[in-house]
Amino acid sequence: MMAELQLDLIQSELSEPFVLPQGAVEHFNTYGYVKLKNVLSARLLGYYGEIITDLVFRLNKLTKPMEERTTYERAFLQVMNLWRESEDAKEFVFSKKLAKIATDLLQVGGVRLYHDQALYKESSGGITPWHADQFYWPLSSPKTVTVWIPLQETLMEMGPLAFAEKSHHVEIGRDVEISDESEALMNEQLKQFNLNETPFDLGEVSFHAGWLFHRAGANVSGQPRKVMTMIYMDQDQKIVKPRNEYQQADWETWLLSRPVGGPADSELNPVLFQY
Element (H, E) at 230: strand 225-234
Distance CA 101, CA 93 (A): 13
Locate all alpha helices (DSSP H) within 147-211, ordered by sequence: 180-189
- 98 in a structural domain: yes
Task: Look at the chain and report how many structural domains it folds into.
Answer: 1
From first to last of its 275 residues, what are the pLDDT tens digits of the chain? 446 668 888 889 999 999 999 999 999 999 999 999 999 999 999 999 999 999 998 987 656 554 554 544 455 578 999 999 999 999 999 999 999 999 999 999 999 999 999 998 888 778 888 889 999 999 999 999 999 999 999 999 999 999 999 999 987 666 666 666 767 777 777 778 899 999 999 999 999 999 999 999 999 999 999 999 999 999 999 999 999 999 999 999 999 999 999 999 999 999 999 99
- Phi–psi pair at 82, nearest 5 degrees: -60, -25
Domain contains 69? yes
CA distances to 25, 75, 162, 174, 233 from 31, in Å? 10, 25, 12, 17, 18
On whether residue 143 sits in a domain, the answer given is: yes
What is the pLDDT at residue 76?
54
CA dihedral 164, 168, 170, 173 (to 10 degrees): 70
Q: Where do the H-state alpha helices sit in 153-215?
A: 180-189
Question: Is 12 contained in some domain?
Answer: no
Q: Is residue 206 part of a domain?
A: yes
Residue 51 belongs to some domain of the structure: yes
In a domain, 13, yes or no: no
Q: How many CA atoms lie within 13 A of 107 on its CB side?
A: 7
The torsion angles phi and psi of 186, rounded to 5 degrees, stand at -75, -25
- Is residue 272 in some structural domain? no
Q: CATH number for the domain including 101?
A: 2.60.120.620
Q: What share of the chain is helix, strand, coil (3-state, %, to 5)?
A: 35, 25, 40
pLDDT at 77: 77
pTM above 0.75, yes or no: yes
Nearest to 268 by CA among 260, 258, 104: 258
CA 182 to centroid of chain Cα atoms: 19
Note down the domain range covering 125. Answer: 30-264
